[in-house]
């Protein structure tokens, strides 16, 4: 028994492939900023747990990690404060996801941690 693929089967398969590639591209494009946010948040927790008590050093390490992860966190948008024995870190930044010029979305991130 021979299987014969006509034009409808080829076009349907090709369109499904195009849709799958498009959905994957959009998912990866929107996933990158959230991945960087979660990674920076994890690194910041590690810095706070490492018992570094010098606040400017904590801020410097967080900014270095942000630069390494390509997170657009600026020094004026990062606050490291200490109240009693609790160290609080608050950082804010925005990233724009651009889908080849057809659609642009700005995502605002707020990272608040305390230890």
- Return the domain boundaries, the chain: 7-114
3-state secondary structure of 106: strand
- Local confidence pLDDT in tens for the 115 residues of the chain: 555 655 667 788 889 999 999 999 999 999 999 999 999 999 999 888 886 678 888 899 999 999 999 999 999 999 999 888 888 999 999 999 988 888 899 999 999 998 8
pLDDT of residue 5: 56
For residue 48 the two structure tokens come to 């706070």
pLDDT of residue 52: 67
Contact between residue 80 and residue 59 where contact means Cβ atoms under 8 Å apart: yes
Helices (H) and strands (E) in the chain, counts: 2, 3
pLDDT of residue 48: 87
3-state secondary structure of 81: strand
Taking the CA atoms of 60, 63, 69 and 70 in sequence, report the sign of the dihedral they define.
negative
């Amino acid at each position: 028994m021979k299987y014969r693929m006509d034009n409808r089967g080829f076009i349907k398969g090709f369109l499904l492939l195009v849709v799958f590639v498009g959905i994957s591209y959009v998912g990866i494009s929107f996933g990158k900023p959230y991945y960087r946010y979660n990674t920076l948040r994890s690194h910041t927790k590690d810095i706070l747990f490492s018992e570094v008590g010098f606040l400017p050093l904590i801020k410097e390490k967080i900014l270095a990690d942000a630069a390494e992860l390509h997170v657009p966190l600026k020094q004026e948008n990062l606050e490291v404060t200490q109240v009693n024995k609790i160290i609080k870190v608050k950082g804010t930044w925005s990233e724009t996801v651009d889908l080849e010029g057809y659609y642009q979305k700005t995502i605002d991130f707020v990272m608040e941690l305390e230890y």
